[in-house]
């Protein structure tokens, strides 16, 4: 039996490698399938959800494998129990992600396009050392061959060659966070990083004075200090 699924969501969840341009409107899966999303906001949001779902999926699979593998099976079951609510929550999030409607186009790259797909490394070693880690537990490292930034094991950000990609990763556009209602200019990478940091629970979350739009904005302003840099003309 065959089940028809949207190509954008399936490739974001199951592709072995994902390469993007600066605003994530162009993505290439496994170096031969090109996805184009006309709205940058939709592309960044879908990519951020896919990153979180893939991380949760890996955790659930690792727990299942730990229960089945190894000589001391009973001991490993107690050490890494598989929570039914976690599996249920992941299932609902995956179904919701697959039902998300987004406008996109899909095509296969020609052999000539595959040869000139990547922009190549364009960053000095000193600049590479100063790159921050935008995602929890994931180090942001420049890719030696493709260029851009390697995020995790499968995603390479801003490595695709194209017109206007030289400075577009530095351009910021105003955006409002749907969770904390913070309104300020972000680059696409900073926006995904803010959504990841804003989603993760903090020690002050749920305390007095944190509710409402003003409290949420104040908390978000203090939580995004790692993304702010002093500027002098």
DSSP letters along 33-87, please? EEEE-S-HHHHHHHHHHHHHHHHHHHHHHHHHHHHHSSS-HHHHHHHSPPPHHHH
Residue 166's pLDDT is 52
Say how far apart CA 72 and CA 166 lie, in whole Å.
54
The overall pTM is greater than 0.75:
no
Q: Is a pLDDT exceeding 80 seen at residue 74?
A: no
At 25, the pLDDT band (50, 70, 90 cuts) reads very high
Residue 9's pLDDT is 97
Residue 218's pLDDT is 42
* Lowest model confidence (mean pLDDT) among 108-122, 137-151, 200-214: 200-214
At 35, the pLDDT band (50, 70, 90 cuts) reads very high
Q: Is a pLDDT exceeding 50 seen at residue 223?
A: no
At 146, the pLDDT band (50, 70, 90 cuts) reads very high
Helix intervals (H) in the chain: 7-14, 40-68, 73-79, 84-98, 111-115, 125-129, 188-199, 212-223
Helix H or strand E encompassing 25: none
Q: How do residues 83-139 score in pLDDT, each as one tens digit?
A: 788 899 999 999 999 999 999 999 999 999 999 999 888 754 444 554 555 555 667
Q: Work out the burial of residue 121: count CB atoms within 10 Å of its CB; fewer than 13 is exposed, 13-18 middle, 19 or more buried.
A: middle
Mean pLDDT, residues 44-60 taken together = 91
In angstroms, what is the C-alpha Rg of the chain? 20
* Lowest model confidence (mean pLDDT) among 23-27, 48-52, 65-69, 106-110: 65-69
Sequence-ordered list of residues with C-beta below 8 angstroms from that of 125, at least 6 positions apart, any chain = none
Contact 111, 172 (CB under 8 A): no
For residue 80, what are its two tokens?
A: 């890494």
Q: Is a pLDDT exceeding 60 seen at residue 6?
A: yes
Q: How do residues 173-193 score in pLDDT, each as one tens digit?
A: 888 888 899 998 887 767 777
Residue 216's pLDDT is 45
Q: Supply angle C-alpha 175, 176, 181, rounded to 5.
A: 160
pLDDT, the chain, mean:
78
For residue 116, what are its two tokens?
A: 């000139």
Residue 68's pLDDT is 82
Q: How many CA atoms lie within 13 A of 33 on its CB side?
A: 15
């Amino acid at each position: 039996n065959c089940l028809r699924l949207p190509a954008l969501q399936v490739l974001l969840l199951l592709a072995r490698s994902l390469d993007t341009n600066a605003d994530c409107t162009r993505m290439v899966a496994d170096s031969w399938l090109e996805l184009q999303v006309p709205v940058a906001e939709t592309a960044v949001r879908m990519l951020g959800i896919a990153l979180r779902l893939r991380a949760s999926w890996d955790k659930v699979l690792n727990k299942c494998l730990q229960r089945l593998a190894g000589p001391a099976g009973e001991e490993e079951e107690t050490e890494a129990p598989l929570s039914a609510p976690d599996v249920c929550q992941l299932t609902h999030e995956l179904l919701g992600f697959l039902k998300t409607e987004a406008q996109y186009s899909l095509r296969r790259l020609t052999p000539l396009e595959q040869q000139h797909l990547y922009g190549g490394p364009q960053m000095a070693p000193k600049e590479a050392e100063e790159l921050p880690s935008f995602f929890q537990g994931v180090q942001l490292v420049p890719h030696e061959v493709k260029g851009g930034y390697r995020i995790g094991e499968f995603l390479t950000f801003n490595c695709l060659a194209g017109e206007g990609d030289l400075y577009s990763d530095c351009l910021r556009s105003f955006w409002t966070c749907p969770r904390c209602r913070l309104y300020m200019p972000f680059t696409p990478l900073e926006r995904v990083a803010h959504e990841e940091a804003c989603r993760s629970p903090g020690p002050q979350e749920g305390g007095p004075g944190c509710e409402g739009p003003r409290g949420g904005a104040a908390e978000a302003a203090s939580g995004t200090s790692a993304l702010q840099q002093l500027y002098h003309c």
